[in-house]
Amino acid sequence: MTEKNVVTAIHDTLHERMAADERLVVLGEDVGARGGVFRVTQGFLEEFGERRVIDTPLAEGAIVGLAVGMALHGLLPVAEIEFADFIHPAFDQMVSEVARMRYRTNGDFGLPMVVRAPWGGGVHGALYHSQSIEAFYGHVPGLKVVVPSTPYDAAGMLRSAIDDPDPVLFLEHKRTYRLISGEVPDEPYTVPIGPADVKREGTDLTAVAYGLMLHHCLEAAQRLDQEHGISVEVVDVRTISPLDRETILASVRKTGKAIVVYEDNRTYGAGAEIVATIAEEAMFDLDGPLVRIGGPDVPAMGFASNLEHAFMPDADLVFERMLELARF
Amino acid sequence: MATRVTRRPIHEDLGLSADDIRSMYRTMVTARLVDEASFRLNRQGKAAFVVPVSGHEGCQVGTAWALERGRDVWLPYYRDVAVVLVAGMTPCDIFLGLFAKADDPSSAGRQMPSHWGSRRLGIISHSSPIASQMPHASGIAYAMKFRGEDSAVGCWFGEGATSEGIWHEALNFAGIHEVPAIFVCENNHYAISVAQSKQMAVENVADRAAGYGMPGVVVDGNDVLACYAAMKDAVARARAGEGPTLIEAKTYRFFPHTSDDDDRTYRSREEVEEAKHHDPIHKFEHYLRDAGVMGKDEVEPIAAEIKADVDRQIDDAWNAPDPDPDSLLRHLYAEDDPA
């Protein structure tokens, strides 16, 4: 076991897979000489060479589309979108090509490829370096969309994503990169794509979250236990699509109360689907109203610290809403 | 500026035998007859949607003929009936797609007709958004170079595709990495109804090749041997590690954009009739006669024989089973596919 932060866990795992499999290539903006703006591919160019570590032209549609071609001809591309906010030019490739190559060919073609994208706020990224994109792609059948939030899950799920015969959008929350550390096994292991994970067991209410919000929920749950003796179960969604409804519903049926927290714009966010699932499937198991915390419906967070803070739910807000729900 | 091919090619000089050019001719005629039958089936209510090829047979057969089945990779677009015939699809395969049958090799009835794909044949599946296949071509060609293969990628598209940003992005990457890709523009001067003059400020798509550091070649798309010659050179360059080429074949589409289009709203009948004087099939017939490869009296029997064969394949396709409605939910992910 080694204590690592999220970004180091991702770097080390990607490095391990690059060293193990000659077919693996990374491509994206600044992944070569610069080693990635977040340093995820630091040292890769020197070690693996420019054939396998490809500094692409500044064109996100091409980055994804080239990865499609590489995946179709025997390579295992791991494409990096420098910031998730910049993936929009690749939306057509993601939706029309990546997501439906297998479906539209009746299973004749498959695309073993990964698209990594740092997402989320709390880093003074303002309107174009802070956004959440999981709902756009969670809506698209054929894509697997994952949001690991701990070093252990990030490393394990990255191995699963690379091994997966289908395309995976691998979302890395930027604020967790260096904020969140944890024990990571030194030997390779995998964390499957699909299953959610109960990160903290509890009996009084269920919190469902991912990304930075997961950590706010864990912090709030800890305080509720210490200060009020309230037992909160925290479910880490981990995979946005396909969504593990069973784990979420099992927890809600056990506790009878649910709060769903996400930092994306509230309306049509991934949390809306989770809330709808609970409402559809577990209505008669509920002892209180379904609570949803999301970002406001404005384009994104502002650059000014107080504007960013006003946009993002924090542990205090989550704590208050949990307490309110527990007392209902 | 692009190179313009003006020399009249002679098949022996290109390494083509009399049998080769007879086969090329038959493939062009097959494409034309598939087209005419498809429109007939559309008017009979048996085919919901047809994308015609007529007029493009010369540039399609000429360019596709320079690639090798089982070695090279084909990225056609929706008008490429003749390209996929060269790549190994049969008329029956095409009609299975036209009728959206379970055995449609491209998509088992999921996609509209003429959205080609077959892993077995090395034909890469494509979608409807224009130019979306371009970066796939560059990515595959990169992988070929990476793996040390001496194979090549052919990627076909219309001149309208060249307005898309992703078209530029794909050629830019191909040029930087000198990958073995040949980009073939079938310029018929209309993107549905929008004339070339409103699509670009230049006369030749191939002139843009300079911006990507690759050769650009303009060729008469109605001259099948001229197209073959241009493609043959480009494929040789690709196999030799000399990088990509952009070929522009000037041609014309005789029918509307699709069976749902009415081209009378944007093209005069006189213009269409004039274009038919440059029919690539007739042009090739003249060549074959002049070269002593085919007699004038052979034209009709060959067409009749191919038509009988095409009609039989239409029947086979028509009588094939429809997709199972339950298949709608299958093949989203690999785990849904039986091993």
Question: Which tens digit of pLDDT belongs to each residue from A136-182?
Answer: 999 999 999 999 999 999 999 999 999 999 999 999 999 999 999 99
Contact (CB, 8 A) for B120 and A106 = no
Contact criterion met (CB < 8 Å) for B173 and A57? yes
Determine the distance from the C-alpha atom of residue A327 to the mean position of all C-alpha atoms in its chain, rounded to a whole number. Answer: 31
How far is residue A48's CA from residue A35's CA, in Å, rounded to a whole number? Answer: 12
The yes-or-no answer on residue B142 being catalytic is no
How far is residue A272's CA from residue B43's CA, in Å, rounded to a whole number? Answer: 47
Closest chain A residue to B171 measured between Cα atoms? A62
Residues of B in contact with A66 (CB under 8 A): 135-136, 138-139, 142, 170, 173
How far is residue B110's CA from residue A146's CA, in Å, rounded to a whole number? Answer: 28
Radius of gyration, CA atoms only, chain A: 19
How far is residue B91's CA from residue B309's CA, in Å, rounded to a whole number? Answer: 9
Mean pLDDT (whole number) for A8-16: 98
* pLDDT tens for the 339 residues of chain B, in order: 788 876 678 999 999 999 999 999 999 999 999 999 999 999 999 999 999 999 999 999 999 999 999 999 999 999 999 999 999 999 999 999 999 999 999 999 999 999 999 999 999 999 999 999 999 999 999 999 999 999 999 999 999 999 999 999 999 999 999 999 999 999 999 999 999 999 999 999 999 999 999 999 999 999 999 999 999 999 999 999 999 999 999 999 999 999 999 999 999 999 999 999 999 999 999 999 999 999 999 999 999 999 999 999 999 999 999 999 999 999 999 977 654
Contact criterion met (CB < 8 Å) for B146 and A69? no
Per-residue pLDDT tens over the stretch A228-278? 999 999 999 999 999 999 999 999 999 999 999 999 999 999 999 999 999
How far is residue B134's CA from residue B311's CA, in Å, rounded to a whole number? Answer: 34
C-alpha dihedral sign at B219, B220, B226, B231: positive
Measured between CA atoms, how close is A71 to chain B, in angstroms?
8
Contact (CB, 8 A) for B179 and B213 = no
pLDDT at position B337: 63
Place of tokens 């409807």: B128
Helix (H, G, I), strand (E, B) or coil at B217: strand
Contact (CB, 8 A) for A295 and A288 = no
C-alpha dihedral sign at B158, B151, A25, A28: negative
Residues of B in contact with A76 (CB under 8 A): none
* Residues 289-318 in B contacting A (C-alpha not used; CB under 8 Å): none
Q: What is the ipTM of this complex?
A: 0.97
Strand order in the sheet with B181-187: B3-4, B216-220, B245-250, B181-187, B153-158, B73-75
How far is residue A144's CA from residue A162's CA, in Å, rounded to a whole number? Answer: 12
Contact (CB, 8 A) for A220 and A322 = yes
Contact (CB, 8 A) for B76 and B61 = no
Measured between CA atoms, how close is A62 to chain B, in angstroms?
6
DSSP bridge pairs for B191: B194
Catalytic residue among A11, A129, A215, A216: A129
Q: Residue B117: which of A57, A59, A109 has the nearest Cβ?
A: A109
